[in-house]
Amino acid sequence: MDIRAKKIEVVAMAWAIFFSTLISVGATASETDVEAQLQQMQAQLLKMQDQLDEANRRASAQQERIERSEAFRGSSAESEVGSFLKTIQIKGTVAASYNYNFNQPPRDSGGLGSPGNGNIVNYPFTEQFQFDQFVLDVTRPTTAESPVGFRVRTMLGAQAAMLGLDDGGVAADEQNHFWVHHATLDYQHDFASLGTVNFAAGIFATPIGAESVVASDNWNISQGLLWGIQPVNHTGLLVNGAVGDTGWGWLAAVGNDNFGGGIGADNNRGSSYLLGVSYGAANWSTAVTAAYGAEFPKNEDDKTLLIDVLTKYKFSDRFETWLNFDYAQINSSPNASIYGLALAQRYQVTDRFALSAREEYLYGNAGAPTSIPAVGYANGKSSSSYSLTVTGDYALTEYLDLRGELRFDDVDERGVQDHNFFGKSGMTRSNQTVGLVQAVLHF
Protein backbone atom coordinates (compact mmCIF):
# COMPACT_ATOMS: atom_id res chain seq x y z
CA MET A 1 0.00 0.00 0.00
CA ASP A 2 1.49 3.39 -1.03
CA ILE A 3 1.56 6.55 1.06
CA ARG A 4 -1.44 8.14 -0.66
CA ALA A 5 -3.61 5.07 0.09
CA LYS A 6 -2.40 5.09 3.70
CA LYS A 7 -3.49 8.73 4.08
CA ILE A 8 -6.96 7.91 2.75
CA GLU A 9 -7.22 4.99 5.18
CA VAL A 10 -6.24 7.18 8.14
CA VAL A 11 -8.79 9.87 7.23
CA ALA A 12 -11.53 7.26 6.75
CA MET A 13 -10.76 5.73 10.14
CA ALA A 14 -10.96 9.14 11.82
CA TRP A 15 -14.38 9.90 10.34
CA ALA A 16 -15.63 6.40 11.23
CA ILE A 17 -14.57 6.86 14.84
CA PHE A 18 -16.20 10.27 14.92
CA PHE A 19 -19.58 9.09 13.63
CA SER A 20 -19.57 5.91 15.73
CA THR A 21 -18.85 7.94 18.84
CA LEU A 22 -21.70 10.31 18.07
CA ILE A 23 -24.06 7.38 17.68
CA SER A 24 -22.73 5.87 20.90
CA VAL A 25 -23.16 9.15 22.72
CA GLY A 26 -26.78 9.42 21.60
CA ALA A 27 -27.47 5.96 22.91
CA THR A 28 -25.95 6.39 26.40
CA ALA A 29 -27.97 7.41 29.49
CA SER A 30 -25.93 9.90 31.60
CA GLU A 31 -24.12 13.22 31.10
CA THR A 32 -21.04 11.90 32.85
CA ASP A 33 -20.82 9.05 30.40
CA VAL A 34 -21.34 11.47 27.48
CA GLU A 35 -18.52 13.75 28.68
CA ALA A 36 -16.16 10.79 29.17
CA GLN A 37 -16.95 9.44 25.74
CA LEU A 38 -16.45 12.88 24.16
CA GLN A 39 -13.02 13.15 25.82
CA GLN A 40 -12.16 9.67 24.56
CA MET A 41 -13.29 10.63 21.09
CA GLN A 42 -11.19 13.80 21.21
CA ALA A 43 -8.11 11.83 22.25
CA GLN A 44 -8.63 9.34 19.44
CA LEU A 45 -9.10 12.18 16.92
CA LEU A 46 -5.91 13.86 18.12
CA LYS A 47 -4.09 10.55 17.72
CA MET A 48 -5.50 10.15 14.21
CA GLN A 49 -4.43 13.73 13.41
CA ASP A 50 -0.88 12.96 14.53
CA GLN A 51 -0.86 9.88 12.29
CA LEU A 52 -2.22 11.91 9.41
CA ASP A 53 0.44 14.62 9.88
CA GLU A 54 3.16 11.97 9.99
CA ALA A 55 1.79 10.39 6.79
CA ASN A 56 1.76 13.79 5.10
CA ARG A 57 5.35 14.47 6.20
CA ARG A 58 6.56 11.12 4.88
CA ALA A 59 4.69 11.59 1.59
CA SER A 60 6.19 15.06 1.11
CA ALA A 61 9.70 13.81 1.93
CA GLN A 62 9.39 10.89 -0.47
CA GLN A 63 8.05 13.14 -3.25
CA GLU A 64 10.94 15.56 -2.72
CA ARG A 65 13.45 12.70 -2.94
CA ILE A 66 11.85 11.48 -6.17
CA GLU A 67 11.95 14.96 -7.72
CA ARG A 68 15.58 15.46 -6.68
CA SER A 69 16.55 12.09 -8.13
CA GLU A 70 14.82 12.78 -11.45
CA ALA A 71 16.29 16.28 -11.60
CA PHE A 72 19.76 14.91 -10.88
CA ARG A 73 19.51 12.22 -13.53
CA GLY A 74 18.22 14.68 -16.14
CA SER A 75 20.27 17.76 -15.28
CA SER A 76 23.54 15.95 -14.67
CA ALA A 77 23.35 14.23 -18.03
CA GLU A 78 22.57 17.50 -19.74
CA SER A 79 25.01 19.65 -17.79
CA GLU A 80 27.94 17.28 -17.98
CA VAL A 81 27.42 15.82 -21.46
CA GLY A 82 24.61 17.58 -23.26
CA SER A 83 25.71 21.08 -22.36
CA PHE A 84 29.28 20.31 -23.37
CA LEU A 85 28.20 18.91 -26.73
CA LYS A 86 25.99 21.92 -27.37
CA THR A 87 29.03 24.22 -27.17
CA ILE A 88 30.95 22.32 -29.87
CA GLN A 89 30.91 23.95 -33.31
CA ILE A 90 31.49 21.87 -36.46
CA LYS A 91 32.11 23.21 -39.94
CA GLY A 92 33.94 21.98 -43.00
CA THR A 93 34.79 22.20 -46.68
CA VAL A 94 34.79 19.68 -49.52
CA ALA A 95 36.41 20.65 -52.86
CA ALA A 96 37.11 18.89 -56.15
CA SER A 97 38.60 20.36 -59.32
CA TYR A 98 39.74 19.95 -62.92
CA ASN A 99 42.70 21.80 -64.42
CA TYR A 100 44.05 22.38 -67.91
CA ASN A 101 47.60 23.65 -68.47
CA PHE A 102 47.87 25.27 -71.90
CA ASN A 103 51.61 24.44 -71.99
CA GLN A 104 50.76 20.73 -71.92
CA PRO A 105 53.75 19.83 -69.67
CA PRO A 106 54.92 16.18 -69.62
CA ARG A 107 54.19 14.36 -66.39
CA ASP A 108 57.83 13.48 -65.73
CA SER A 109 59.20 17.03 -66.00
CA GLY A 110 60.01 19.28 -63.08
CA GLY A 111 59.21 22.93 -62.57
CA LEU A 112 56.19 24.98 -61.65
CA GLY A 113 53.84 23.43 -64.18
CA SER A 114 54.49 19.81 -63.22
CA PRO A 115 54.71 17.52 -60.15
CA GLY A 116 57.56 19.62 -58.70
CA ASN A 117 55.48 22.78 -58.42
CA GLY A 118 55.52 22.90 -54.61
CA ASN A 119 53.25 25.47 -52.99
CA ILE A 120 52.97 27.81 -55.97
CA VAL A 121 50.34 26.02 -58.07
CA ASN A 122 48.32 23.28 -56.41
CA TYR A 123 47.36 21.51 -59.66
CA PRO A 124 50.51 19.82 -60.96
CA PHE A 125 49.12 17.76 -63.84
CA THR A 126 47.38 19.04 -66.94
CA GLU A 127 43.94 17.69 -67.89
CA GLN A 128 43.64 16.28 -64.41
CA PHE A 129 40.63 15.66 -62.19
CA GLN A 130 41.54 16.02 -58.54
CA PHE A 131 39.92 15.65 -55.14
CA ASP A 132 41.40 18.74 -53.55
CA GLN A 133 40.38 18.53 -49.91
CA PHE A 134 37.99 17.44 -47.25
CA VAL A 135 38.37 19.74 -44.24
CA LEU A 136 36.73 19.11 -40.87
CA ASP A 137 36.94 21.89 -38.30
CA VAL A 138 35.77 21.06 -34.75
CA THR A 139 35.88 23.82 -32.14
CA ARG A 140 34.80 24.38 -28.57
CA PRO A 141 35.27 28.14 -28.17
CA THR A 142 36.36 29.58 -24.86
CA THR A 143 34.13 31.99 -22.94
CA ALA A 144 34.32 33.86 -19.66
CA GLU A 145 31.99 31.28 -18.07
CA SER A 146 33.79 28.29 -19.65
CA PRO A 147 37.43 29.32 -20.24
CA VAL A 148 38.75 25.95 -21.50
CA GLY A 149 38.25 24.84 -25.10
CA PHE A 150 39.92 23.27 -28.10
CA ARG A 151 40.11 23.41 -31.90
CA VAL A 152 41.03 20.66 -34.37
CA ARG A 153 41.15 21.18 -38.15
CA THR A 154 42.16 18.22 -40.31
CA MET A 155 42.45 17.82 -44.07
CA LEU A 156 42.26 14.89 -46.45
CA GLY A 157 43.04 14.99 -50.19
CA ALA A 158 45.64 16.04 -52.75
CA GLN A 159 46.34 19.39 -51.11
CA ALA A 160 46.82 17.64 -47.77
CA ALA A 161 49.42 15.46 -49.50
CA MET A 162 51.21 18.52 -50.83
CA LEU A 163 51.24 20.21 -47.43
CA GLY A 164 52.26 17.07 -45.57
CA LEU A 165 55.19 16.08 -47.78
CA ASP A 166 58.68 17.52 -47.49
CA ASP A 167 59.21 17.84 -51.25
CA GLY A 168 55.84 19.47 -51.87
CA GLY A 169 55.07 17.18 -54.80
CA VAL A 170 51.81 15.32 -55.30
CA ALA A 171 51.85 11.84 -56.80
CA ALA A 172 48.77 10.03 -58.04
CA ASP A 173 48.75 7.60 -55.11
CA GLU A 174 49.04 10.33 -52.46
CA GLN A 175 45.60 11.92 -52.77
CA ASN A 176 44.37 10.09 -49.65
CA HIS A 177 46.98 11.78 -47.48
CA PHE A 178 45.82 12.98 -44.03
CA TRP A 179 47.19 16.24 -42.63
CA VAL A 180 46.58 18.26 -39.44
CA HIS A 181 46.36 21.98 -39.99
CA HIS A 182 45.35 23.07 -36.49
CA ALA A 183 45.13 21.20 -33.18
CA THR A 184 45.24 23.25 -29.98
CA LEU A 185 44.13 23.23 -26.37
CA ASP A 186 42.70 26.71 -25.72
CA TYR A 187 42.33 28.74 -22.56
CA GLN A 188 41.33 32.32 -21.82
CA HIS A 189 41.90 34.40 -18.71
CA ASP A 190 40.83 37.89 -17.73
CA PHE A 191 43.67 40.02 -16.41
CA ALA A 192 42.94 43.29 -14.66
CA SER A 193 45.45 45.27 -16.71
CA LEU A 194 45.56 43.30 -20.00
CA GLY A 195 41.92 42.34 -20.36
CA THR A 196 41.06 38.95 -21.86
CA VAL A 197 44.12 36.98 -22.98
CA ASN A 198 43.81 33.83 -25.11
CA PHE A 199 46.28 30.93 -24.97
CA ALA A 200 46.56 28.19 -27.64
CA ALA A 201 49.02 25.31 -27.21
CA GLY A 202 49.75 22.80 -29.97
CA ILE A 203 49.65 23.18 -33.75
CA PHE A 204 48.08 26.49 -34.75
CA ALA A 205 47.36 28.06 -38.15
CA THR A 206 49.68 30.90 -39.07
CA PRO A 207 48.44 34.47 -38.55
CA ILE A 208 50.56 35.52 -41.54
CA GLY A 209 49.12 36.30 -44.95
CA ALA A 210 45.75 36.87 -46.61
CA GLU A 211 45.04 33.38 -47.95
CA SER A 212 44.22 30.07 -46.29
CA VAL A 213 44.72 26.38 -46.99
CA VAL A 214 40.91 26.02 -46.85
CA ALA A 215 39.27 26.49 -50.25
CA SER A 216 36.08 28.12 -48.95
CA ASP A 217 38.10 30.84 -47.16
CA ASN A 218 39.72 32.12 -50.37
CA TRP A 219 38.47 34.26 -53.24
CA ASN A 220 40.51 32.33 -55.82
CA ILE A 221 40.92 28.62 -56.51
CA SER A 222 44.71 28.62 -56.47
CA GLN A 223 46.81 30.26 -53.76
CA GLY A 224 49.18 32.99 -54.87
CA LEU A 225 52.92 33.52 -55.07
CA LEU A 226 53.08 35.20 -51.66
CA TRP A 227 51.24 32.30 -50.08
CA GLY A 228 54.07 30.11 -51.35
CA ILE A 229 56.69 31.96 -49.28
CA GLN A 230 54.59 32.17 -46.09
CA PRO A 231 54.37 29.60 -43.30
CA VAL A 232 51.26 27.45 -43.08
CA ASN A 233 51.15 26.57 -39.39
CA HIS A 234 53.34 26.45 -36.30
CA THR A 235 53.93 24.12 -33.35
CA GLY A 236 54.22 25.88 -29.99
CA LEU A 237 52.34 28.38 -27.81
CA LEU A 238 50.32 31.30 -29.16
CA VAL A 239 49.12 34.16 -26.92
CA ASN A 240 46.91 37.00 -28.16
CA GLY A 241 44.48 39.60 -26.95
CA ALA A 242 42.77 42.93 -27.60
CA VAL A 243 43.49 46.33 -26.08
CA GLY A 244 40.06 47.08 -24.65
CA ASP A 245 37.60 48.51 -27.18
CA THR A 246 40.24 50.54 -29.03
CA GLY A 247 40.40 48.23 -32.04
CA TRP A 248 44.03 47.34 -31.36
CA GLY A 249 45.15 43.74 -30.97
CA TRP A 250 48.39 41.90 -30.35
CA LEU A 251 49.90 38.41 -30.56
CA ALA A 252 53.09 36.62 -29.54
CA ALA A 253 54.18 33.03 -30.08
CA VAL A 254 57.13 30.74 -29.52
CA GLY A 255 57.61 27.35 -31.11
CA ASN A 256 59.59 25.13 -33.40
CA ASP A 257 60.42 26.10 -36.98
CA ASN A 258 58.15 28.76 -38.43
CA PHE A 259 58.33 26.97 -41.78
CA GLY A 260 58.30 23.44 -40.39
CA GLY A 261 54.76 22.66 -41.55
CA GLY A 262 53.52 22.03 -38.01
CA ILE A 263 54.95 18.51 -37.93
CA GLY A 264 55.91 18.88 -34.28
CA ALA A 265 59.59 17.93 -34.28
CA ASP A 266 62.16 20.73 -34.32
CA ASN A 267 65.00 20.47 -36.83
CA ASN A 268 67.54 22.28 -34.60
CA ARG A 269 68.08 23.42 -31.03
CA GLY A 270 66.79 26.95 -31.64
CA SER A 271 63.27 28.28 -31.28
CA SER A 272 61.26 30.47 -33.63
CA TYR A 273 59.10 33.43 -32.70
CA LEU A 274 56.09 35.40 -33.88
CA LEU A 275 55.18 38.93 -32.89
CA GLY A 276 52.27 40.92 -34.28
CA VAL A 277 50.08 43.98 -33.86
CA SER A 278 46.79 44.77 -35.59
CA TYR A 279 44.12 47.43 -35.81
CA GLY A 280 40.53 47.07 -37.01
CA ALA A 281 37.84 49.65 -37.75
CA ALA A 282 34.35 49.45 -39.23
CA ASN A 283 35.37 48.96 -42.86
CA TRP A 284 39.13 48.35 -42.80
CA SER A 285 41.88 46.57 -40.87
CA THR A 286 45.64 46.23 -40.94
CA ALA A 287 48.12 43.83 -39.32
CA VAL A 288 51.90 43.63 -39.12
CA THR A 289 53.43 40.27 -38.15
CA ALA A 290 57.09 39.27 -37.88
CA ALA A 291 58.41 35.69 -37.92
CA TYR A 292 62.00 35.15 -36.78
CA GLY A 293 64.02 32.07 -35.92
CA ALA A 294 66.44 29.31 -36.88
CA GLU A 295 64.91 27.47 -39.83
CA PHE A 296 67.74 25.29 -41.13
CA PRO A 297 68.44 21.69 -39.98
CA LYS A 298 71.15 21.42 -37.31
CA ASN A 299 71.93 25.12 -37.67
CA GLU A 300 70.95 27.60 -34.96
CA ASP A 301 73.09 30.45 -36.32
CA ASP A 302 71.35 31.27 -39.61
CA LYS A 303 68.13 33.02 -38.73
CA THR A 304 65.31 33.73 -41.16
CA LEU A 305 63.24 36.90 -40.82
CA LEU A 306 59.85 37.34 -42.49
CA ILE A 307 57.84 40.55 -42.14
CA ASP A 308 54.22 40.43 -43.29
CA VAL A 309 51.90 43.43 -43.74
CA LEU A 310 48.24 42.83 -44.57
CA THR A 311 45.59 45.53 -45.10
CA LYS A 312 41.93 44.90 -45.90
CA TYR A 313 39.41 47.49 -47.03
CA LYS A 314 35.66 47.12 -47.61
CA PHE A 315 34.37 49.82 -49.94
CA SER A 316 30.79 48.55 -49.77
CA ASP A 317 28.79 45.40 -49.14
CA ARG A 318 29.60 44.34 -52.72
CA PHE A 319 33.20 45.44 -53.21
CA GLU A 320 36.24 44.69 -51.01
CA THR A 321 40.00 44.33 -51.43
CA TRP A 322 43.19 43.30 -49.64
CA LEU A 323 46.87 44.22 -50.04
CA ASN A 324 49.64 41.91 -48.78
CA PHE A 325 53.38 42.69 -48.60
CA ASP A 326 56.16 40.29 -47.53
CA TYR A 327 59.89 40.65 -46.97
CA ALA A 328 62.20 37.76 -46.02
CA GLN A 329 65.95 37.55 -45.36
CA ILE A 330 68.59 35.22 -43.95
CA ASN A 331 70.71 36.84 -41.24
CA SER A 332 74.06 35.44 -42.35
CA SER A 333 73.47 36.23 -46.05
CA PRO A 334 72.64 39.90 -46.64
CA ASN A 335 72.03 39.25 -50.33
CA ALA A 336 69.73 36.29 -49.72
CA SER A 337 66.44 38.15 -49.58
CA ILE A 338 63.02 37.98 -51.14
CA TYR A 339 60.06 40.33 -51.21
CA GLY A 340 56.66 40.33 -52.82
CA LEU A 341 53.43 42.25 -53.21
CA ALA A 342 49.92 40.93 -53.83
CA LEU A 343 46.71 42.88 -54.48
CA ALA A 344 43.29 41.22 -54.68
CA GLN A 345 39.74 42.46 -55.31
CA ARG A 346 36.31 40.88 -55.11
CA TYR A 347 33.09 42.30 -56.52
CA GLN A 348 29.69 40.76 -55.80
CA VAL A 349 28.05 41.26 -59.19
CA THR A 350 24.72 39.67 -58.21
CA ASP A 351 23.45 37.85 -55.14
CA ARG A 352 24.80 34.60 -56.63
CA PHE A 353 27.76 35.63 -58.82
CA ALA A 354 31.07 37.21 -57.72
CA LEU A 355 34.18 38.13 -59.69
CA SER A 356 37.66 38.19 -58.11
CA ALA A 357 41.12 39.18 -59.38
CA ARG A 358 44.61 38.90 -57.90
CA GLU A 359 47.82 40.55 -59.14
CA GLU A 360 51.24 39.58 -57.73
CA TYR A 361 54.94 40.35 -58.02
CA LEU A 362 57.74 38.42 -56.31
CA TYR A 363 61.49 39.15 -56.43
CA GLY A 364 64.32 37.09 -54.98
CA ASN A 365 68.12 37.26 -54.90
CA ALA A 366 70.39 34.26 -55.37
CA GLY A 367 70.50 32.12 -52.25
CA ALA A 368 67.06 33.16 -51.07
CA PRO A 369 65.86 31.23 -48.00
CA THR A 370 65.77 27.57 -48.95
CA SER A 371 63.22 26.94 -46.24
CA ILE A 372 60.83 29.11 -48.24
CA PRO A 373 59.61 27.58 -51.53
CA ALA A 374 61.64 29.13 -54.33
CA VAL A 375 60.37 30.37 -57.67
CA GLY A 376 63.35 29.70 -59.89
CA TYR A 377 66.12 30.91 -57.57
CA ALA A 378 68.31 27.83 -57.78
CA ASN A 379 70.29 28.71 -60.91
CA GLY A 380 70.14 32.46 -61.39
CA LYS A 381 71.53 35.44 -59.54
CA SER A 382 68.03 36.80 -59.11
CA SER A 383 64.56 36.33 -60.50
CA SER A 384 61.23 38.09 -60.76
CA SER A 385 57.87 36.34 -60.87
CA TYR A 386 54.56 37.76 -62.01
CA SER A 387 51.10 36.29 -61.67
CA LEU A 388 47.61 37.37 -62.71
CA THR A 389 44.54 35.39 -61.63
CA VAL A 390 40.87 35.97 -62.47
CA THR A 391 38.13 33.88 -60.81
CA GLY A 392 34.37 33.72 -61.20
CA ASP A 393 32.28 32.25 -58.36
CA TYR A 394 28.64 31.21 -58.74
CA ALA A 395 26.54 30.00 -55.79
CA LEU A 396 24.52 27.05 -57.02
CA THR A 397 22.90 26.63 -53.60
CA GLU A 398 23.39 28.05 -50.13
CA TYR A 399 26.22 25.59 -49.50
CA LEU A 400 27.60 24.72 -52.97
CA ASP A 401 29.73 27.05 -55.14
CA LEU A 402 31.04 26.50 -58.66
CA ARG A 403 34.22 28.37 -59.61
CA GLY A 404 36.10 28.98 -62.83
CA GLU A 405 39.60 30.44 -62.95
CA LEU A 406 42.24 31.55 -65.47
CA ARG A 407 45.77 32.06 -64.16
CA PHE A 408 48.93 33.36 -65.87
CA ASP A 409 52.45 33.02 -64.37
CA ASP A 410 55.74 34.35 -65.72
CA VAL A 411 59.30 34.00 -64.35
CA ASP A 412 62.14 36.28 -65.46
CA GLU A 413 65.47 34.89 -64.26
CA ARG A 414 68.72 36.85 -64.59
CA GLY A 415 72.12 35.27 -65.14
CA VAL A 416 71.11 32.02 -66.83
CA GLN A 417 68.84 30.74 -69.56
CA ASP A 418 65.39 32.24 -69.12
CA HIS A 419 63.31 29.28 -70.29
CA ASN A 420 63.55 26.51 -67.72
CA PHE A 421 60.63 26.72 -65.31
CA PHE A 422 57.52 25.59 -67.15
CA GLY A 423 57.22 22.41 -69.14
CA LYS A 424 56.39 22.01 -72.81
CA SER A 425 58.18 18.94 -74.17
CA GLY A 426 60.76 19.58 -71.47
CA MET A 427 61.51 22.66 -69.38
CA THR A 428 61.39 25.19 -72.21
CA ARG A 429 58.95 27.92 -71.18
CA SER A 430 59.22 30.96 -68.91
CA ASN A 431 55.46 31.31 -68.50
CA GLN A 432 52.32 29.24 -68.23
CA THR A 433 48.57 29.66 -68.43
CA VAL A 434 46.32 27.37 -66.41
CA GLY A 435 42.53 27.02 -66.47
CA LEU A 436 40.76 25.63 -63.40
CA VAL A 437 37.23 24.58 -62.51
CA GLN A 438 36.33 23.78 -58.90
CA ALA A 439 33.23 22.77 -56.96
CA VAL A 440 33.27 23.80 -53.29
CA LEU A 441 30.85 22.59 -50.63
CA HIS A 442 30.98 24.46 -47.32
CA PHE A 443 28.96 23.61 -44.23
Which of the listed residues 77, 107, 137 is the one where a domain comes to its end? 77
Q: Does 286 reside within a domain?
A: yes
The 3-state DSSP class for residue 18 equals helix
**For every one of its 443 residues, what pLDDT tens digit does the chain have, with 9 covering 90 and above?**
555 555 556 555 655 555 555 555 455 555 667 677 777 777 777 777 777 777 777 777 777 776 666 655 555 555 566 677 788 999 999 999 998 888 776 665 444 433 333 334 445 567 888 888 999 999 999 998 889 999 999 999 888 877 765 444 444 455 567 889 999 999 999 988 788 999 999 999 999 999 999 999 999 999 998 888 888 899 999 999 999 889 999 999 999 888 765 455 677 788 899 999 999 999 999 999 999 988 777 777 778 899 999 999 999 999 999 999 999 887 766 667 888 999 999 999 999 999 999 999 988 876 554 434 343 344 446 778 889 999 999 999 999 999 999 999 887 766 555 555 565 555 566 778 889 999 999 99
Q: Are residues 259 and 353 in the same domain?
A: yes
- Per residue, the 3-state secondary structure of 280-341, as one string, reads ECCCEEEEEEEEEEEEECCEEEEEEEEEEEEEEEECCCCEEEEEEEEEEEECCEEEEEEEEE
Q: How far is CA 342 from CA 189, 227, 265, in A?
A: 37, 10, 32
Residue 51 lies in domain: 3-77
In a domain, 156, yes or no: yes
Which of 367, 386, 225, 236 has the alpha carbon at shortest distance from 304?
367
Number of structural domains the chain divides into: 2
* CA 220/CA 226 separation, integer angstroms: 14
Q: Is residue 230 part of a domain?
A: yes
- 8: in domain: yes
| Among candidate residues 77, 109, 134, the one where a domain is terminated | 77
317 plus 397 within the same structural domain? yes
Let me know if residue 86 belongs to a domain: no
Residues 65 and 95 in one domain: no
Residue 84 domain-assigned (yes or no): no
Domain with 219 in it: what CATH number? 2.40.160.10
CA distance 356 to 319: 10
